[in-house]
Amino acid sequence: MTHVDDASILPARWWKASASGAVSDCVEVGIVGEEEEVVAVRDSKRPTGPALLFNHRQIRGFVEAVRVGGLG
């Protein structure tokens, strides 16, 4: 996993996570570039803020850790 300080510079198609709440606790996911090898995650309230960048193996592990509560 890597990161960028300004997610708005990424050539990404962004969408909000389906589990995002209505009180500004939204996460956006973006597929970066035409090769679609990188998945970016950012806070929707801060589109020019940082984003985490994952390859496909890493994002699967990240999602699974979130699902089972392994990040808290």
**DSSP of 5-63:** S-GGGS-EEEEE-TT--SSS--EEEEEESSS--EEEEEETT-TTS-EEEE-HHHHHHHH
The band of 71, judged by pLDDT with boundaries at 50, 70 and 90, is confident
Instruction: Give the pairing of strands 27-32 and 38-43.
Output: antiparallel
Global confidence as pTM: 0.81
CA 19, CA 11: separation in Å to the nearest integer?
24
The tens digit of pLDDT for each residue in 16-42 reads: 877 666 666 688 999 998 777 899 999
Q: Which two tokens stand for residue 58?
A: 């890493």
Write down the domain spans for the chain: 2-67
